[in-house]
Structure 1
Amino acid sequence: MEQVSAGGDDVWLEAASWSDNRRELRMPTALEGSLRLFLGESESVQVIDVSNRGCRLRGVALKPAQRVWLRIGGLETLVGTVAWCDDGEAGIRFEQRLPREVIMLLSGGARDDDGYEDI
């Protein structure tokens, strides 16, 4: 992971590859969730990581641009859109950003020195 400056503001980039252009810190998780498509039945998914703008899921076959409803633990239902999918994994972009405290709770790392910045 690399920290860069963009116009004087520090932002976090997770540089897993040259093509990775995410601008938010992804926090690893090991959570089970429930995903539902419009007018569809719920199915279990594994939440691999989460950020303030989205998450990565494993164990589900989705298509880009599908709208989804995701339940993780006791949180309210999160509404999002499938941003990408590949080999049983999918990236979901949330309609509303998650607060820092929720991300820390989901990742099991409620620390003040985690380097997370809500951008």
Structure 2
Amino acid sequence: MGYMNSQFRRVEPALIEQRKAFRHPVQIQRTAIRQHGKNARKGELVDVSIYGCRVASDSMIAEGSRVWLRFEGSSPITATAIWCRDGQVGCRFDETLDQKLFRSLALINE
């Protein structure tokens, strides 16, 4: 009987987390993002892991674009824009983030 009642029930699609590591939520406004051949734009670091981050910015960046990120006290970090929508950009770092820099970013709470 349960099968007959459930066969027509709508089920929402599952959300599958494809990240390699948990992204730590942060709120760091002293962030800059730049595409090749363009000026750096201000941004806000929204979350970060050693593999990537999400930056809120008013610049439109195409998926697959190479970007350079700079956080306060860091050298430029190269990354690839994986997605861009609603004023936010998801980036995957070319090299894993230095543990010391990651800890300092994850502990800052502005």
Give ranges in structure 2 of 5+ residues lacking alignment: 1-13
State percent identity of aligned pairs.
Answer: 28
Q: Which residue of 2 aligns with 1:94?
A: 93
Q: Which residue of 1 aligns with 2:107?
A: 108
Alignment of 1:6-21 (within 5 A): 18-21=15-18
Which of the residues 20, 25, 33 maps onto 1:23?
Answer: 20
Q: Which residue of 1 aligns with 2:76?
A: 77
Looking at structure 2, the residues matched to 104 and 28 of structure 1 have their Cα atoms a distance apart, in angstroms, of 12
Give the SS at the match of 1:62. Answer: coil
Give the SS at the match of 1:39. Answer: coil
Looking at structure 1, the residues matched to 48 and 103 of structure 2 have their Cα atoms a distance apart, in angstroms, of 9
Give the SS at the match of 2:91. Answer: strand
Which structure would you say has the larger RCO, counting Cα contacts within 8 Å and 6 or more residues apart? 2
Contact 1:80 1:92 in 2 (8 A): yes
Task: Write 1 or 2 for the structure with the bigger share of helix.
Answer: 2
Looking at structure 2, the residues matched to 42 and 59 of structure 1 have their Cα atoms a distance apart, in angstroms, of 11
Give the SS at the match of 2:101. Answer: helix
Q: Which residue of 1 aligns with 2:37?
A: 39
* Greater radius of gyration (CA): 2
TM-score of the two chains, using structure 2 as the length reference:
0.77
Contact 1:46 1:59 in 2 (8 A): yes
Alpha-carbon offset, residue 86 of structure 1 = 1.6
Query: May I ask how many residue pairs the two structures share in their alignment?
Result: 93
